[in-house]
Structure 1
Amino acid sequence: MLLFLVAVSLQIADASPQVPNIMDLLEALNTTEKIWLGIRSYDWQEASQRHNCVYIEKQTLTETQYDFKQHYIIGGELYVSEFHAVLGSQTPDGPTMNVTPKSGGETITYTLRTWKKASKCGVLTYINKNTGETQ
């Protein structure tokens, strides 16, 4: 069974009646399957460098840390980036994880806003530090 995590705008996230918890986040991440990014409401970089066919693969997972590889295509070429996440606290909006590229760079806090166990589908958001928008 494929697992989908979707990073989209807050309007969709608000549709869920129940706020996920840290156990939901662990369940979402604890798979040997590829986690495909179904929809993204923003460009990771500039539009000319848009990441397509994005999926992640778990390397290690504990109750507090998550290491994964992100695979994506730009201009027909496959790329792989490695990330480390510290699983954070429960917020009123859902559990968080602070994700940092292993090559160095900015840490981004993602919040799991929706988790549908039966369909293995969720919504992750983050706040864009440049615009203040939730994406």
Structure 2
Amino acid sequence: MLLFLVAVSLQLAEASPNVPNITDLLEALNTTERLWLGIRSYDWHEARQRHNCVYIEKESLTESEYKFKQHYIADGKSNVSEFHAVLGSQTPDGPTMNVTSKSGEGAITYTLRTWEKTAKCGVLTFIDKNNNTQCELYAWDSEVVIINMTSAYLCEW
């Protein structure tokens, strides 16, 4: 079911006649609300290390830079990681941002493929280490109805 929803989201992104721009990316990131990861097309971790109840909180945002904290539960424990993103160029698929951890490791380029202004949700894609396109669906806290549908954990903080 999860893969089906992700595939549908990505197909909708590809079919959309309105490619997001850097203004859309800034709008998507410019919130004091939590940005919840609702659906993803991958799982990097073994079952007990899987990141559940993932959300992002903005630390700062300018036209060229985004600093944020990612909160998640792994193995029953709450965790926080800090990240820095350089907001990049416009591509045919949408605007990009190059994300690194606070320590500067693991740069990943994300592309905003869709941004639904009314629903306050969007799809980001990136290329994984196996050269596969992966996607993540994020939504503002005020727009989330069901959080982390595949998680056995309750997302309460």
Q: CA deviation at 1:43?
A: 1.3
Length, aligned pairs only:
127
Q: CA deviation at 1:47?
A: 4.1
Equivalent residue number for residue 29 of structure 2: 29
Equivalent residue number for residue 67 of structure 1: 67
* RMSD (CA atoms): 1.4
Q: Which amino acid aligns with 1:106?
A: G
CA distance in 1, matches of 2:48, 2:131: 23
Equivalent residue number for residue 91 of structure 1: 91
CA distance in 2, matches of 1:12, 1:127: 18
Q: CA deviation at 1:12?
A: 4.4
CA distance in 1, matches of 2:35, 2:92: 25
Note the 1:31-70 alignment, pairs <5 A.
Answer: 31-70=31-70
Is 1:133 the counterpart of 2:140? The answer is no
CA distance in 2, matches of 1:39, 1:12: 14
Q: Which amino acid aligns with 1:60?
A: S
Matched-pair identity in %: 76
CA distance in 2, matches of 1:79, 1:15: 36
Note the 1:11-22 alignment, pairs <5 A.
Answer: 11-22=11-22
Q: CA deviation at 1:18?
A: 1.0
Residues 48 and 76 (structure 1), Cα distance of their counterparts in 2 relative to 1, 3 Å cut: closer
Q: CA deviation at 1:81?
A: 0.1
Q: Which amino acid aligns with 1:31?
A: T
Residues 35 and 103 (structure 1), Cα distance of their counterparts in 2 relative to 1, 3 Å cut: same
Residues 36-45 or 56-65, more deviating: 36-45
Q: Which amino acid aligns with 1:105?
A: E
Which structure is higher in helix share? 2
CA distance in 2, matches of 1:102, 1:57: 14
Equivalent residue number for residue 104 of structure 1: 104
Is 1:114 the counterpart of 2:114? The answer is yes
TM-score, L = length of structure 2 = 0.76
CA distance in 2, matches of 1:110, 1:91: 11
Over 4 Å off, 4+ runs: none
Deviations 1:39-72 (A, max 9, x none): 0111133444110000000000000000000000
TM-score, L = length of structure 1 = 0.88
Residues 37-46 or 98-107, more deviating: 37-46
